[in-house]
Structure 1
Amino acid sequence: MGLMLGSLRRTDYKTLFRYIKLRTHQLLCVILRVAKLFPLTAHGRYRRMEEFKGQPRLPKFAVPKRYDIRLKPDLSACKFGGSVAIDLDIVDNTRFIVLNAVELSIDNASVSFSPRRSSKVFQPSKVELIDEDGILVLEFTETLPIGVGVLAIGFEGILNDRMKGFYRSTYVHNGEKKNMAVTQFEPVEARRCFPCWDEPACKATFKITLDVPSELVALSNMPVSEEKVHGALKTVSYQESPIMSTYLVAVVVGLFDYVEDHTSDGVKVRVYSQVGKANQGKFALHVAVKTLELYKEYFAVPYSLPKLDMIAIPDFAAGAMENYGLVTYRETALLYDDQHSAAANKQRVAIVVTHELAHQWFGNLVTMEWWTHLWLNEGFATWISYLAADSLFPEWKIWTQFLAETTEGLRLDGLQESHPIEVDINHAGEVDEIFDAISYRKGASVIRMLQSYLGAKPFQGSLASYIKKHAYSNAKTEDLWAALEEGSGEPVKKLMNSWTKQKGYPVVSVKAKDQKLKFEQSQFLSSGSSGEGQWIIPITLCCGSYDKQKNFLLQTKSETLDMEESLGCSVAACSWIKLNVDQTGFYRVKYDEDLAAKLRHAIERQELTATDRFGILDDSFALCMACQQPLTSLLALMGAYTEELDYTVLSNLISTSLKVDRIVADARPELADNTRQFFINLFRNSAERLGWESKKGESHLDALLRGEILTALAELEDDETLNEASRRFQVYLNDRNTPLLPPDTRKAAYVAIMQKVSTSNRSGFESLLRVYRETDLSQEKTRILSALASCPDKGITLEVLNFLLSSEVRSQDAVFGLYVSREGRETAWKWLKDNWDHIEKTYGSGFLITRFVSAVVSPFASFEKAKEVEEFFAPRTKPSIARTIKQSIERVHINAKWVQSIQNEEDLADAVIELAYGEDY
């Protein structure tokens, strides 16, 4: 370069420097775009529309303040028209306005920008909709004046059938099939309904007007301010909303009944349902009223809207959605029928309602700044939903049941292909996949761990301060930590960063030597590999009694504790030592052989709490799957639970047994019958105690347990259970109100019936399909779908899978029938491959399509199958399913390694026979 400069004239120097400056700028733009840090302001850096493609966030030179939205849905033609006028603050020099829109037809003639302090109207010279990025780019010939103006846009769209954006759901009224119009905007689907700044931080107020058929009910976030009827149509206007994010805007139009109540401070609460189902909303209504009052006290901030509507939608992808003032639900998550819903359905309604109403404060009033902080919404709402349910229904022992949430978080986070609680989101297409057990269940579990460490009162007071400080605004994880540090005086940020900013969790190995306990932490991976993570771990332990406890933070890789100095007793004098007391910590514990043996004896003597009995079993199962502990050791521990009575512990014992049953059938098929007999023996006492019919005055937990125990025995093909189920099912076919088959035991009967079904003996299958077709209760339909898939006959399995894609099964419900028997795995995999194009087209992006992948792929247990799956999806992977595919393949590898480990256990056969039939066999 220096040689060239010496021979240039002055004018050439100027040309060259301009060239260098241009190229340098272009190179800088490329670098910044690759790094996902493309400048968000400064008009001079944007010269062409193409420069906006592929950006993770919208540019910030225009800020929305208020939306005036008018929508006119056509429920017969399944389309809608609309217009939006957006009060817009132009804060930087620009010739562009960039906002979100997708699958909308923009009427270019209707697009204009009108500055407030000028009579001039700016019309864009170019309007381009970039669907792959979900953005609408408006280019103007002149620089727009800085200040507030109004952006007006007219548009049309389709009421789609994909349960996102502005979509249609179907229902039957007076024998006629009808459509309703529904919105589902989280995470990034408001842009499918109207052009907007579809990011959580872009909060604004919303004034909504709907033009709808006169006979229909039209609901939105706020109460109706005015309604005018014009013959067959009416115009409904709603009060302007408080400031909120676009993903919380909601509209529902259809025919509905409702039940109504009020909180003690006058908030009107309604539960809407299909006509004729209003009474099924009474339980949810009761829960909602009590929960609003509870949260008002807990957060020290009243509910911020004048009304709360909750509505059951027949077609709904998620469980529920916390739209401000208009919460939408699947029917199964909101409606409860006293005669035909099971105890599990009742509990689910309570948990989902308390979860969604928590969002009215934690999510709606205070909103995450970006999807990286999704866990702030979902983890917190999951945790506090249990706090609310425990307050309303203490007899449910809901905090013991919470351990099932923790277990799901631990199982996903034990994968190498997991992700941190705080995960960078670089494109809208990546958001759906993080609505998973990490954001919800791990998030809730680390919040529970933190609350336990800080104490309930400091934690609650800090949360109230956080809500007040950030009300009607946005917050990041660091803002919550700051509030908790100030309220507790503890180093919360330092402690919690190790849990939110890195994936995975630790296993704490504990060994006894002399009078000391040695602790070592390492990252736990279900594959058995060693990870590199390190955590600040709140250790709790007790020695022989819950009166002797020790708490400390394990901040290094290893530490030694002198028991005499700390607890005044020797290791030898302790009848047992238990870490992670009551399972409040999000980590696993691996005991040396002597300590593990003492805990097994303590379980047999029933000296430990239910939460600790649960945790010991769960950790042992995880260590066995990771090939860090032999199956014989796990089975011996399971044998200590023969007298177990607690619902949550037995529920975990059931799920563990069914997983071991499958893996033994893969690894050592000659031992399968003996292993099954051992598991049947484990559950027979409980089955005999509970029986098939509900008892007057029995506990909610007994009702839950009865269904799970009998279903497990049916899956294990216990002859006594199969025969009794068949007898009761025949009575039920003739009398749907018979007390011989109450809702809690129906799934058990359905599973039992399907165990005997084959292509040459179809009567049970046909009978179940008849029950499915005759019921209009969503909970009953999903019960049947999940039972149909359990049939071991491959021909019937294929029929069931094809039935899932038929018009008789709502798209949202198909996933319930994917969990096939071990014998049906290969059939399900071939079916998935054959139907993949149709499944992808039907479900597109979103978490439902990930369920198809994980449910069908994860149960396999061979390296060859893992390779086959990888090859199939290699050309078909998209951002919305990429992580799920990797996780599912990793699970197949884990299962394959576990099979190899079991195959190499020399004394397994003798151990299984002894457990199944006793020492004298």
Structure 2
Amino acid sequence: MGNLYGKLMHCKQLLDGHLFEGFLRKVRRWTMAEEQNVEQFKGQARLPKFAAPKRYDLFLKPDLASCTFSGSVRIALDVVGHTRFLVLNAADLAVNEGSVWFRSSSSSEEIRPAEIVAVEGDEILIIRFDRLLPRGEGVLGIGFQGTLNDKMKGFYRSTYEHKGEKKNMAVTQFEPVDARRCFPCWDEPVCKATFKITLEVPSELVALSNMPVVEEKPDGPSRIVSFEESPIMSTYLVAIVVGLFDYVEASTSDGTKVRVYCQVGKSSQGKFALDVAVKTLDLYKKYFAVPYPLPKLDMVAIPDFAAGAMENYGLVTYREKALLFDDRHSAASNKQQVAIVVAHELAHQWFGNLVTMEWWTHLWLNEGFATWVSYLAADSLFPEWNVWTQFLDETTTGFRLDALAESHPIEVDINHASEIDEIFDAISYKKGASVIRMLQSYLGAECFQKALASYIKKFAYSNAKTEDLWTVLEKESGEPVKKLMHSWTKQKGYPVLSVRVRDGNLEFEQTQFLSSGSSGVGQWIVPITLCCCSYKSQEKFLLETKSDKMNLTKLCDSFDSGKGGKFWIKVNVNQTGFYRVNYDDELASKLQYAIESHQLTATDRFGVLDDSFALSMACKQTLSSLLSLMAAYKEESEYTLLSHIITTSYKVVDVVADAAPELVDDIKTFFISLLQYPAEKLGWDPKDGESHLDAMLRGEILTALAEFGHDITINEAVKRFHAFMEDRDTSFLPPDTRKAAYVALMKTVNNSNKVGYESLLRIYRETDLSQEKARILSALASSPDPSVVLEALNFLLSSEVRNQDAVYGLAGISREGRDIAWMWLKENWEHISKTCGSGFLITRFISSIVSPFSSDEKGDEIENFFATRSKPSISRTLKQSIERVRVNAKWVKSIQSETSLGEVVEELAYRVY
């Protein structure tokens, strides 16, 4: 072909110029097509653009006894490039080579491939033909077989019991890139198509997919179930569930049928989620100004499920714990989790499903928005829950991860499918949601809502990038949204504002905050809000430079430049901005006074404490100053604040145990004193008419007192537990306090007295409520005896614990069990790695066991162990966990240099008491 091209150049003068150039372009395309080869498609982040799918006609026949499936797919394509190749995704499938064919719409001839190559590492299927495929519409046919795997991804099996018999169900989990494990496809979000799905299933089982059933035909012991063709959507949103289920049903105000499916006998546990879903769909229809796009919505509780839930279009799947609520045995925190998770997944029906990210770089467009909108919905449905104050827990989790040098930008480059799992993290979800809240606060709620509705309408049934959203918001608001937000989404990290008073001015200087205490190089456009002495006196401006200042006398009438006055200033009003604030000593002392005199809102009290904790960890403040500030919260009664005080206390106790073990008992006494007043006020028993937040707080405070070794709490817990074991009367141990009792019980367990441990295992084996099983698992490893911790960890890997539930047990490992847990992880790494594969589960094993250590020597040991065991799906988590170890080590050294810490702790304990 190259020689022909050269000869044609010599004949140019013999042909008309336009005719020659047109023919020459064809020759070039033919030449390029001839030069294509299998090797050039390997190692690429994205599929080539030779062809685009338009419609999938998919048939699947799962065999639940042998845990296999067979299927065929006909894919209507638009061939847009000159090519002899079709390259699509496939993994863990056996393709029947004789079943593969292509037929152009312009011809009835079936073109058979000359070669089919499965590239396992890249999860692609390369189909080579001997001739160029005709451009335009065509159909690709493929037959295949696969295994219903036990990895909780692709097309997999989940187990359940019915009438004492163990059974299998077939379930799909395709996000992010696992549709390719069920059928060959163009498995990228931008490759949207319609789906016509047909299943052959046992007659007695329920078969569900994204769309309603359009036809059912009996076929011996099986039946053929055909579903309506779906609207255009991405492959990762396709869903299929086959099993034995009960359901409850209701309808939205415009007639959309909503069902909650669960195991037989548990249908009553789906009623709360059903009610939330119906109300949430109506709410989102109004907020997004676009109706719910599908004719039905099914939500299904799956016994084996790796993530919390998955937003499949019209068929949302959940862990049982995240969907079902039992009035007698579920805690108030379980109820709140169900509401927020349901609201999150239903937000995706618009933000993610109707409008889909173009590529995984823009994952945060899905997850950040769904997280933020879920709180918007929960606040509308349950205003008494004060969820916007609780939202600060999301922000704090985002802060913690983004303060690491090994963090990543919100918009993160994805170079290979194996890298995608690790960005389903606190940056995409929690930082993403927090910067959205910051932007909404800056633009105003009404303007923001109108812009989102415009965005949804403009990009419905198509794909979008982050810049597309900024363009719509900028047009609606008239504000420089792109310029503002690029500094928050395209670079990792966030700023800390150093604020001080000098010469009658309030001076601001921004630097990148890092938990290591090092100086980062980032710079942001920061929406500053502040108030002075009162929330009636507020100012806001954009900090676009490294530093700025404002005149205090204009800001605050109470400011006396000569004497300083009794004034206070709070920067980042109600914590709507994603940044920290480091006040000078004068401003910090005034804020502490404002807290003690109840002048700050709950969100601002939260922010002051969390900033101080982070600055102490980064060695920018002393631990003594943090503890002094915590003493100002001795009369605190708000749930989110006390919950955050407890979380902070756990971390402080751990680091002091490493830095100054002789002070641990005094530190625990201080925290017990801080928590005793609300604990005594709440007591162990629920009160008539008490709030949802009081119910959640009771459990957290009693658990904390048990963790800190408060004898009165532990003795009462053990007494109540034994009474509960006698007849399981929930009046002895209501679900909100059960975790506290289990932890207290395990504090009394050691190798020579394991009665409490065996009692918890007995409850675990008798209950079929996933929330109760999770509670027990989270307490089993909290014993101070390392040998008991080891036994608990071994139990997590037993056949009695579902793979996805093992992570609950990792969260409760006692400080005394840290070293044995690390030894256990090393010894079982190959098994854990093989069992969990990639994604959320395997990374949790690493972060939970590695991150609590606090010495450089241990950091080196961990680094050496994983030097030959790391892989792309865990490398980011591993680096982050080791960095946390080194941050802890630096904090330990800083605390050891505080010579007066013991005196401060003793004085504070006396003052709080």
Match of 1:342 in 2: 331
Does structure 2 conserve the Cα–Cα contact (< 8 Å) formed by 1:418 and 1:504?
Answer: yes
Match of 1:57 in 2: 46
Q: 1:46 Cα deviation (Å)?
A: 5.1
Instruction: Say which SS state the counterpart of residue 880 (structure 1) adopts.
Output: helix
Does structure 1 conserve the Cα–Cα contact (< 8 Å) formed by 2:533 and 2:558?
Answer: no
> 1:42–1:486: structure 2 CA closer, same or farther, 3 Å change rule?
farther
Work out which of the residue numbers 152, 156, 163 in structure 1 matches 2:141. 152
Bigger Cα displacement from structure 2, 490-499 vs 600-609: 600-609
Instruction: Say which SS state the counterpart of residue 706 (structure 2) adopts.
Output: helix
Q: Deviations over 1:471-495 (max 9, x none)?
A: 0000000000001001100000000
Give the TM-score, by structure 1 length. Answer: 0.95
1:838 aligns with 2:831: yes
Q: Which amino acid aligns with 1:873?
A: F
1:559 aligns with 2:559: no
Work out which of the residue numbers 545, 551, 571 in structure 2 matches 1:579. 571
1:245-324 equivalences in 2 (<5 Å)? 245-324=234-313
Q: 1:230 Cα deviation (Å)?
A: 1.8
Match of 1:480 in 2: 469
Work out which of the residue numbers 852, 855, 861 in structure 2 matches 1:862. 855
The separation in 2 between residues aligned to 1:568 and 1:199, in whole angstroms, is 58
The separation in 2 between residues aligned to 1:763 and 1:849, in whole angstroms, is 32
The separation in 1 between residues aligned to 2:544 and 2:705, in whole angstroms, is 45
Does structure 2 conserve the Cα–Cα contact (< 8 Å) formed by 1:563 and 1:569?
Answer: no
Match of 1:24 in 2: none
Work out which of the residue numbers 721, 745, 753 in structure 1 matches 2:713. 721
Work out which of the residue numbers 781, 803, 809 in structure 2 matches 1:811. 803
Match of 1:794 in 2: 786
Q: 1:279 Cα deviation (Å)?
A: 0.4
Does structure 1 conserve the Cα–Cα contact (< 8 Å) formed by 2:537 and 2:555?
Answer: no
Does structure 2 conserve the Cα–Cα contact (< 8 Å) formed by 1:666 and 1:899?
Answer: yes
1:737 aligns with 2:726: no
Q: Which amino acid aligns with 2:908?
A: L
The separation in 1 between residues aligned to 2:444 and 2:174, in whole angstroms, is 37
Q: 1:250 Cα deviation (Å)?
A: 0.1
Structure 1: gaps (5+ residues): 1-12, 19-39
Q: 1:212 Cα deviation (Å)?
A: 0.2
1:603-682 equivalences in 2 (<5 Å)? 603-682=595-674
Match of 2:417 in 1: 428
> 1:611–1:273: structure 2 CA closer, same or farther, 3 Å change rule?
same
Does structure 2 conserve the Cα–Cα contact (< 8 Å) formed by 1:621 and 1:634?
Answer: yes
The separation in 1 between residues aligned to 2:874 and 2:151, in whole angstroms, is 17
Match of 1:898 in 2: 891
Does structure 1 conserve the Cα–Cα contact (< 8 Å) formed by 2:33 and 2:84?
Answer: no
Q: Deviations over 1:683-709 (max 9, x none)?
A: 001110001111111000000100000
1:140 aligns with 2:129: yes
> 1:558–1:574: structure 2 CA closer, same or farther, 3 Å change rule?
farther
Work out which of the residue numbers 879, 885, 891 in structure 1 matches 2:872. 879
1:455 aligns with 2:444: yes
1:38-187 equivalences in 2 (<5 Å)? 43-44=32-33, 47-187=36-176
Q: 1:861 Cα deviation (Å)?
A: 0.3
The separation in 1 between residues aligned to 2:856 and 2:110, in whole angstroms, is 65
The separation in 2 between residues aligned to 1:583 and 1:830, in whole angstroms, is 41
Match of 1:760 in 2: 752
Q: Which amino acid aligns with 1:635?
A: L
Q: 1:50 Cα deviation (Å)?
A: 1.6
The separation in 2 between residues aligned to 1:220 and 1:555, in whole angstroms, is 50
Match of 2:24 in 1: none
Q: 1:514 Cα deviation (Å)?
A: 2.9
Q: Deviations over 1:297-339 (max 9, x none)?
A: 0000000000000000000000000000000000000000000
Does structure 2 conserve the Cα–Cα contact (< 8 Å) formed by 1:41 and 1:92?
Answer: no
Q: Deviations over 1:731-766 (max 9, x none)?
A: 111122330210000000000000110010000000
> 1:42–1:376: structure 2 CA closer, same or farther, 3 Å change rule?
farther
Q: Which amino acid aligns with 1:358?
A: A
Instruction: Say which SS state the counterpart of residue 784 (structure 2) adopts.
Output: coil
Instruction: Say which SS state the counterpart of residue 507 (structure 1) adopts.
Output: strand
Instruction: Say which SS state the counterpart of residue 641 (structure 1) adopts.
Output: coil
Match of 2:16 in 1: none
Match of 1:403 in 2: 392
Q: Deviations over 1:242-285 (max 9, x none)?
A: 00000000000000000000001000000000000000000000
Bigger Cα displacement from structure 2, 857-866 vs 123-132: 123-132
Does structure 2 conserve the Cα–Cα contact (< 8 Å) formed by 1:70 and 1:208?
Answer: yes
Q: 1:209 Cα deviation (Å)?
A: 0.1
Q: 1:570 Cα deviation (Å)?
A: 2.6
Q: 1:231 Cα deviation (Å)?
A: 2.5
1:213-228 equivalences in 2 (<5 Å)? 213-228=202-217
1:677-688 equivalences in 2 (<5 Å)? 677-688=669-680
Work out which of the residue numbers 827, 841, 849 in structure 2 matches 1:848. 841
Q: Deviations over 1:102-137 (max 9, x none)?
A: 000000000000111102211111111111111000
Match of 2:372 in 1: 383
The separation in 1 between residues aligned to 2:683 and 2:732, in whole angstroms, is 11
Q: Deviations over 1:386-443 (max 9, x none)?
A: 0000000000000000000000000000000000000000000000000000000000
Q: 1:515 Cα deviation (Å)?
A: 1.7
The separation in 2 between residues aligned to 1:438 and 1:81, in whole angstroms, is 39
Instruction: Say which SS state the counterpart of residue 818 (structure 2) adopts.
Output: helix
Does structure 2 conserve the Cα–Cα contact (< 8 Å) formed by 1:228 and 1:236?
Answer: yes
Does structure 2 conserve the Cα–Cα contact (< 8 Å) formed by 1:420 and 1:501?
Answer: yes
Q: 1:42 Cα deviation (Å)?
A: 9.3
Instruction: Say which SS state the counterpart of residue 432 (structure 2) adopts.
Output: helix
Q: 1:655 Cα deviation (Å)?
A: 0.3
Does structure 2 conserve the Cα–Cα contact (< 8 Å) formed by 1:582 and 1:612?
Answer: yes
Instruction: Say which SS state the counterpart of residue 386 (structure 1) adopts.
Output: helix
Does structure 2 conserve the Cα–Cα contact (< 8 Å) formed by 1:729 and 1:749?
Answer: yes
Does structure 1 conserve the Cα–Cα contact (< 8 Å) formed by 2:78 and 2:135?
Answer: yes
Instruction: Say which SS state the counterpart of residue 696 (structure 1) adopts.
Output: coil
> 1:181–1:14: structure 2 CA closer, same or farther, 3 Å change rule?
closer
Instruction: Say which SS state the counterpart of residue 540 (structure 1) adopts.
Output: strand
The separation in 2 between residues aligned to 1:218 and 1:789, in whole angstroms, is 40
Q: 1:47 Cα deviation (Å)?
A: 2.4
Instruction: Say which SS state the counterpart of residue 591 (structure 2) adopts.
Output: helix
Give the TM-score, by structure 2 length. Answer: 0.96
Q: Which amino acid aligns with 1:879?
A: P
The separation in 2 between residues aligned to 1:71 and 1:523, in whole angstroms, is 52
Q: Deviations over 1:602-626 (max 9, x none)?
A: 1111111000000000000000000
Q: 1:566 Cα deviation (Å)?
A: 4.0
Q: Which amino acid aligns with 1:887?
A: Q
Q: Which amino acid aligns with 1:548?
A: S
Structure 2: gaps (5+ residues): 8-28
1:693 aligns with 2:685: yes
The separation in 2 between residues aligned to 1:262 and 1:699, in whole angstroms, is 29
The separation in 1 between residues aligned to 2:195 and 2:628, in whole angstroms, is 61
The separation in 2 between residues aligned to 1:132 and 1:587, in whole angstroms, is 41
Q: Which amino acid aligns with 1:556?
A: T
1:339-378 equivalences in 2 (<5 Å)? 339-378=328-367
The separation in 2 between residues aligned to 1:798 and 1:91, in whole angstroms, is 59
Q: Which amino acid aligns with 1:902?
A: I
